[in-house]
Amino acid sequence: MAHHKVKPFTPAPRQKCGGKNRYATKQEAELVAEQQMLLFASQGLKLYVYHCAFCGGWHLTSHRDPLGIW
Protein backbone atom coordinates (compact mmCIF):
# COMPACT_ATOMS: atom_id res chain seq x y z
CA MET A 1 0.00 0.00 0.00
CA ALA A 2 1.47 3.34 -1.02
CA HIS A 3 1.92 6.06 1.57
CA HIS A 4 1.03 9.56 0.51
CA LYS A 5 2.53 12.65 2.03
CA VAL A 6 -0.10 14.96 3.44
CA LYS A 7 0.51 18.50 2.30
CA PRO A 8 -0.24 21.01 5.07
CA PHE A 9 -3.05 23.44 4.46
CA THR A 10 -1.70 26.84 3.47
CA PRO A 11 -4.26 29.61 3.87
CA ALA A 12 -4.51 32.53 1.51
CA PRO A 13 -2.63 35.68 2.54
CA ARG A 14 -4.31 37.08 5.64
CA GLN A 15 -5.31 40.55 6.65
CA LYS A 16 -4.92 41.68 10.24
CA CYS A 17 -7.64 42.89 12.58
CA GLY A 18 -6.40 44.32 15.83
CA GLY A 19 -3.17 42.37 15.48
CA LYS A 20 -4.92 39.04 14.85
CA ASN A 21 -4.82 37.04 11.66
CA ARG A 22 -8.11 37.22 9.81
CA TYR A 23 -9.43 34.25 7.86
CA ALA A 24 -12.06 34.57 5.15
CA THR A 25 -14.09 31.52 6.17
CA LYS A 26 -14.79 29.54 9.30
CA GLN A 27 -13.49 26.41 7.58
CA GLU A 28 -10.15 28.07 6.81
CA ALA A 29 -9.78 29.20 10.43
CA GLU A 30 -10.68 25.72 11.70
CA LEU A 31 -8.04 24.09 9.47
CA VAL A 32 -5.36 26.46 10.73
CA ALA A 33 -6.47 25.91 14.34
CA GLU A 34 -6.26 22.13 13.90
CA GLN A 35 -2.75 22.38 12.46
CA GLN A 36 -1.56 24.67 15.25
CA MET A 37 -3.01 22.40 17.93
CA LEU A 38 -1.21 19.41 16.36
CA LEU A 39 2.07 21.32 16.22
CA PHE A 40 1.80 22.42 19.85
CA ALA A 41 0.02 19.37 21.27
CA SER A 42 2.80 18.77 23.80
CA GLN A 43 2.06 22.20 25.27
CA GLY A 44 -1.67 21.50 25.53
CA LEU A 45 -2.66 24.29 23.15
CA LYS A 46 -6.41 24.57 22.58
CA LEU A 47 -7.69 27.07 20.02
CA TYR A 48 -11.18 28.28 19.29
CA VAL A 49 -12.58 29.91 16.17
CA TYR A 50 -14.85 32.92 16.39
CA HIS A 51 -16.54 35.32 14.01
CA CYS A 52 -15.44 38.94 14.42
CA ALA A 53 -18.24 41.48 14.58
CA PHE A 54 -15.77 44.25 13.71
CA CYS A 55 -14.15 42.99 10.51
CA GLY A 56 -16.55 40.22 9.48
CA GLY A 57 -13.71 37.70 9.29
CA TRP A 58 -12.78 34.74 11.46
CA HIS A 59 -10.08 34.67 14.13
CA LEU A 60 -8.43 32.17 16.47
CA THR A 61 -8.18 32.54 20.21
CA SER A 62 -7.00 30.42 23.09
CA HIS A 63 -9.73 31.89 25.30
CA ARG A 64 -13.00 29.97 25.45
CA ASP A 65 -15.21 33.06 25.33
CA PRO A 66 -13.36 35.90 23.56
CA LEU A 67 -16.33 38.22 23.20
CA GLY A 68 -18.41 37.22 26.21
CA ILE A 69 -21.19 35.79 24.05
CA TRP A 70 -20.86 32.01 24.52
CA distances 63 to 4, 8, 48, 50, Å, are 35, 25, 7, 10
* Amino acid identity at 64: R
pLDDT at 70 (0 to 100):
46
Per-residue pLDDT, averaged over 24-43, amounts to 93
Per-residue pLDDT, averaged over 52-64, amounts to 88
Round to whole Å and give the CA distance between 70 and 52: 13
Q: With residue 15 as reference, give the H or E element that holds it.
A: strand 15-17
Does the pLDDT of residue 20 top 80, yes or no?
Answer: yes
Per-residue pLDDT, averaged over 10-39, amounts to 86
pLDDT at 41 (0 to 100):
84
pLDDT at 5 (0 to 100):
72
Round to whole Å and give the CA distance between 34 and 19: 21
